[in-house]
Structure 1
Amino acid sequence: MHRTPSLKDKLTRWLPRIVLSPSLVVVFVGVYLFIAWTAGISLSSSKMVPRFDFVGLEQYARLWATPRWETAVANLFIFTVLFLAITIALGLFIAILLDQQVRAEGFLRAVYLYPMALSFIVTGTAWKWILNPELGVQKVVNELGWTGFVFDWITRPEYAIYCVVIAAVWQSTGFAMAIFLAGLRGIDTSIIKAAQIEGATLPRIYMSIIVPMLRPAFLSVVVLLSYISIKSFDLVLALTGGGPGSATEMPSTFMFSATFKRNQMGIGAASAMMMLMTVAAIIVPYLYSELKENRNAH
């Protein structure tokens, strides 16, 4: 006999939906609705104010014909490659060192993870002081007696992008280290012991056995760091402001300048959509592989 649901049963079923509904509404309006709005603006002739006409891909054609956008894309490529390579290498190296059960491991983990607690605005401002020739490293070294030492990368267009890389690596290495260390701690130690019995050295064990087993950790780090590099707006704004000139211009700073400084809302929206498509090209395959792996596991 079918039992009529009681008030308690109805509350148990509907209460989670009621509690989550405000968050879902905020996400829908603040994320998906604005994505749709930005996509519409990128297909219009909007400049200072939004226009709701349709000009097709005209704004995208104008975007890719803009030299400053090409500079931003080139800078993003340089920054992303160096940022990922250095951060992953340092993070993995530190994780392997900490995996050796060193003394004060908890303290060292906290030290390496501390930069992640800072915002990119704070990081950019701090490194702006450190790299300033009149305040930071160059001045300190000169005052110690090495008067010929010069470290003025932040003021030189050909080197300024590497200053952004330095600051980003400093902040994100601890994050990569934590992911790799978690992966290392999840590996059965009997594998290492068996390899040592066979005569393999510890470096050989890590390079040939342990590191290949960290594929899920590598994939997670690459995806998340790629996302960080693509949306690197606050770090660049605080550290260099996109300069000198356009030497450290990024797609994110280009979008901000085009929309709010140069009254080119349509081009700004088009650049935002290009960034969204780049992020989607990274995130969607990752999510697909994770879902496929979970289905295969079940």
Structure 2
Amino acid sequence: MFNTLQKWLPKIILSPSIFLVTVCIYGYVAWTGYLSLTHSRFLPNFKWAGLLQYQKLMENDRWVTSCINLLIFGVLFIIISIILGTLLAIFLDQNIRQEGAIRTIYLYPMALSFIVTGTAWKWILNPGLGLEKMMHDWGWTSFEFNWLVSNDMSVYTLVIAAVWQSSGFVMAMFLAGLRGIDSSIVKAAQIDGASMPTIYWKIILPCLRPVFFSAVIITSHIAIKSFDLVTALTSGGPGYSSDLPALFMYTHAFTRGQMGLGAASAMMMLGGVLAILVPYLYSELRNREQ
């Protein structure tokens, strides 16, 4: 009796969590997928529509614009965050004074929500309130920085805010990776006459390949699901020039009464996440087997 209880006790304890995960995550993913194949509008409609919602989605100019914006935002955000985070980590790896205080300053933005970050940068980049007004008050009247109200440049303000918040987190990942490298490798390279830039470029950074992959996965996930940042900073405007798929999904599913179209956009976003995660997980499992 005791052995049977001991065998089943972990399963009994974990069963509520497994049930909630199954229903509230995978169950609702399946439900969203089903709604994307129906004529649902304000309320669920179980009339089968096939791929009609996906066809409407591909013909929607706002969706196309949001996907282009996601490509611009995602690529710039990922590349700049990783480059900046790597440089900051290398800088802190030189055993500088007050490393703890500087590391805390770099990491602090990550402690803020994207709503706070978006609101703060909205004030900073507002031409009549923030940076441009400050420069005009200082006498530099020719200075102009109106990206926030420009159709062509508003998406780049999202990049600025997102990099400011996330580069410190990427720095922490790379700093942990740097501290895990055996110092004897560096000493051996120095004895052979290699300079420190060469050591970092040829030896240390290649050893951090798993950290690079992790940073790409995490920042890609942040980019794809970005909703609160764009809502607080630009609200998708001017017009929908800085719209992203997450905001498109919310707007059409919950405010415009196009539940089927919103569900289709959500499934497209899920497909984007899986397109990044599945190859990464496959490579990780394959490396472990080897």
Taking structure 2 as the reference length, the TM-score comes to 0.97
Tell me how far apart the structure 2 counterparts of residues 11 and 149 of structure 1 sit (CA, whole Å).
74
Aligned with 2:235 (options 232, 235, 241) = 241
Q: Cα deviation per residue 1:130-186 (whole Å; 9 max; x = unaligned)?
A: 111122111222222212211111011111001000000001001110111111111
Q: Which consecutive unaligned segments of at least 5 residues does structure 1 have?
A: none
Q: Which moved more, 1:194-203 or 1:219-228?
A: 194-203
Aligned-residue offset at 1:289:
1.6
Give the aligned length.
290
Q: Cα deviation per residue 1:117-136 (whole Å; 9 max; x = unaligned)?
A: 11111111111111111221
**Aligned pairs for 1:101-120 within 5 A:** 101-120=95-114
2:14 alignment counterpart: 20
Q: Cα deviation per residue 1:237-278 (whole Å; 9 max; x = unaligned)?
A: 011000011111101011111112221111111000000011
1:270 alignment counterpart: 264
Aligned-residue offset at 1:293:
2.0
1:79 alignment counterpart: 73
2:276 alignment counterpart: 282
2:165 alignment counterpart: 171
Aligned-residue offset at 1:74:
0.3
Aligned-residue offset at 1:11:
4.2
Q: Which moved more, 1:108-117 or 1:77-86?
A: 108-117
Q: Which moved more, 1:72-81 or 1:102-111?
A: 102-111
Tell me how far apart the structure 2 counterparts of residues 148 and 240 of structure 1 sit (CA, whole Å).
25
Tell me how far apart the structure 2 counterparts of residues 35 and 182 of structure 1 sit (CA, whole Å).
35
**Aligned pairs for 1:117-266 within 5 A:** 117-266=111-260
3-state SS of the aligned residue for 2:208? helix
Aligned-residue offset at 1:26:
1.6
**Aligned pairs for 1:82-93 within 5 A:** 82-93=76-87
Q: Which consecutive unaligned segments of at least 5 residues does structure 2 have?
A: none
Q: Cα deviation per residue 1:195-241 (whole Å; 9 max; x = unaligned)?
A: 11111111111111111111000000001100100000010001100
3-state SS of the aligned residue for 1:242? coil
- The code of the aligned residue for 1:258 comes to H
Tell me how far apart the structure 2 counterparts of residues 208 and 87 of structure 1 sit (CA, whole Å).
21
Tell me how far apart the structure 1 counterparts of residues 234 and 4 of structure 2 sit (CA, whole Å).
56
Asked if 1:65 corresponds to 2:21, the answer is no
2:93 alignment counterpart: 99
Tell me how far apart the structure 2 counterparts of residues 101 and 12 of structure 1 sit (CA, whole Å).
50
Tell me how far apart the structure 2 counterparts of residues 83 and 198 of structure 1 sit (CA, whole Å).
38
Q: Which moved more, 1:136-145 or 1:235-244?
A: 136-145
Tell me how far apart the structure 2 counterparts of residues 199 and 143 of structure 1 sit (CA, whole Å).
54
After superposition, the CA RMSD in angstroms is 1.2
Identity %: 57
Aligned-residue offset at 1:292:
2.0
Aligned-residue offset at 1:32:
0.7
Tell me how far apart the structure 1 counterparts of residues 74 and 162 of structure 2 sit (CA, whole Å).
10
